[in-house]
Amino acid sequence: MRQDRPVVVGVDFLATGDEAIAHALRRGSEDERAVLHFVHALSPSDLSDEFGEAEFDDDEDLVTFARGLVQRRVESVSKARGLAMDLARATMHAQIGKPVLTLLALCERLDAELLIVGTRARRGLDRLVLGSVAEALVRQAPCPVLVVRPSATRKTRTQPA
C-alpha cells in the first residue's frame, strides 16, 4: 500500500496561486501522508519579463532563483493565513516550460493523487480568446484536479434567519 499522497500545486505568484497554496497547506495539515509539490512554470516567452532585469548565467541559475521565490511565497501565504504545516513534507519546483505541460508532466512522474490550481474565473470573450490553463488541466490531467477561485470572487453565503 502506498504511504505518501503526492499533491501537485500550481504557483503563479498571483492571488490565484495564493488560493491554491492556501488550500494545499490546509490539506497538508489535515493529512499527514500528503506530500506537497509546489511548482512554478517559467514560460519561455515570458522569461525576459518574469523577473525584471535580473541577470542569470544560465537556465539552472534562473530555475534555482525561481525555486527560492516559490519557497518564499509558500512561507508567506502560510504565515499570512495562519496555516501551519510541516514544510519538510513539501518540495519546491521551478521549470522552464509551458504551465500545462509542466504540471501534467510532474503529475505523471509523481503519480499524483491530486492537482490543485487557481483560476482567474474569466468569463465571456476573455476566456475564449485567452484560453484557460485550468480548463486544459481538467481535461488532460491523469489525476483529479481541484480548481480554486480567488476568495475575492467568492459569494458569501447568508445564514438563514
Residue 84 CB-half CA count within 13 A: 0
Contact indicator for 4, 33 with CB cutoff of 8 Å: yes
SS (H, E, C) 131-153: CCHHHHHHHHCCCCEEEECCHHH
- Domain at 5-153: CATH code: 3.40.50.620
**Tell me, what's the pLDDT at 120?**
75
**Tell me, what's the pLDDT at 56?**
72
User: Strands, DSSP E only, in 26-144?
Assistant: 34-42, 90-96, 114-118
**Tell me, what's the pLDDT at 49?**
54
Contact indicator for 8, 35 with CB cutoff of 8 Å: no
Listed by start position, the domains of the chain span: 5-153
**Tell me, what's the pLDDT at 96?**
92
**Tell me, what's the pLDDT at 129?**
45
Per the prediction, the chain carries an average pLDDT of 83
**Tell me, what's the pLDDT at 119?**
85
Helix axis angle, 133-140 to 99-110, nearest 10°? 30
User: Strands, DSSP E only, in the chain?
Assistant: 5-10, 34-42, 90-96, 114-118, 145-148
Residues of the chain where predicted confidence (pLDDT) is lower than 50:
129-131, 153-161
Could you tell me the end-to-end alpha-carbon distance of the chain, in angstroms, rounded to an integer? 48
